[in-house]
Amino acid sequence: MAYRKGQSGGLSPATRITQEIIARLESGTKPWIKPWRGVPVSRPLRACGIPYRGMNVFWLWMVADMCGYASPFWMTYNQAKELGAQVRKGEKSTIAIFYKSYTKEVEAPDTGEKTDESRRVLKAYPVFNADQVEGLPERFHPAATLEVVEPEGRQAELDSFFASVPAVLRHQGDEAYYEPVADRVTMPPAHLFSGFDHYYATLAHELSHWTGHASRLDRNLKNRFGSAAYAAEELIALSGQSAPCLSLH
């Protein structure tokens, strides 16, 4: 339960993956106190069904977990088109990586002798999860294993209260966070929570971060985990977390 800064462009694949892992560690969300269930994640597969290997397995697993994708399939934009499908408008790609091997002639500085040296370079290409694509055959969307059951404790007064907040809110994945750059709150679907009290508290926490946007209260949201500004922002969000519930009692 935190807020996220925008991603930087122009980074090498290794740097981008490293920074995303660090961002996950700095997000402030402790898995052992998350009040909602996770989304099951299968081994990542290419569009043709061949499993990914190496770093791609860990990386695409992490992205699927972070975004809540249930499908194990990943594909490029053109691969989706070839299947008669279309990436949904506004969806963002992630990267898959591969190593390219080549040889280069090098000259020894002491003898001037020329030899061929084998080298490998890390390359990346953009891919989308099948859950980001419309019109794919059913085989790309295996049935979800989580039972969709509405938790107890829903309150019409709180539904009305949160509906009156003019925030851009989407329900996706199994992470709760606020993005200052996109000015958007993301929440896990309500059925992943053990009770609506946890859902409302989590939503209030993220909306408290939303109030700090430059167009509203203009708080400092550009800070790192562990800094005084980050701690102050989290205290504000924790204070706002219980306010809607307290106001109804």
Query: What does the pLDDT read at residue 38?
Result: 62
Query: What does the pLDDT read at residue 194?
Result: 83
Query: What does the pLDDT read at residue 154?
Result: 94
Query: What does the pLDDT read at residue 107?
Result: 80
Pair of tokens at residue 176: 């709760």
What architecture does CATH give domain 156-247? Answer: Orthogonal Bundle (1.10)
Please state the pTM of the whole predicted model: 0.53
Cα 19 to chain center, whole Å? Answer: 13
Burial of 8 by CB count in 10 Å (0-12 exposed, 13-18 middle, 19+ buried)?
Answer: exposed
* Structural contact between residues 201 and 187, judged by C-beta atoms closer than 8 angstroms: no
Q: pLDDT tens, position by position, for the chain (249 residues)?
A: 454 444 445 678 878 777 777 766 665 544 434 666 665 556 899 999 999 988 898 889 888 877 878 899 999 999 999 999 999 998 999 999 987 777 888 887 877 788 888 877 788 999 999 999 999 998 998 765 556 778 899 999 999 999 999 999 999 877 888 888 889 999 988 988 889 998 999 999 999 999 989 999 888 777 655 566 666 676 666 666 555 544 444
Whole-number Å distance between alpha carbons of 32 and 21? 18
Q: Where are the alpha helices (DSSP H) in 48-195?
A: 55-67, 77-82, 156-163
Query: What does the pLDDT read at residue 200?
Result: 93
Find tokens 């992205």 and name the residue: 63
Whole-number Å distance between alpha carbons of 226 and 66? 22
Cα 209–Cα 22–Cα 129 angle in degrees, nearest 5: 85
Query: What does the pLDDT read at residue 161?
Result: 94
Query: What does the pLDDT read at residue 6?
Result: 44
Q: Within the chain, which residue ranges are assigned CATH 1.10.10.2910?
A: 156-247
Query: What does the pLDDT read at residue 247?
Result: 46
Q: Where are the alpha helices (DSSP H) in 48-128?
A: 55-67, 77-82
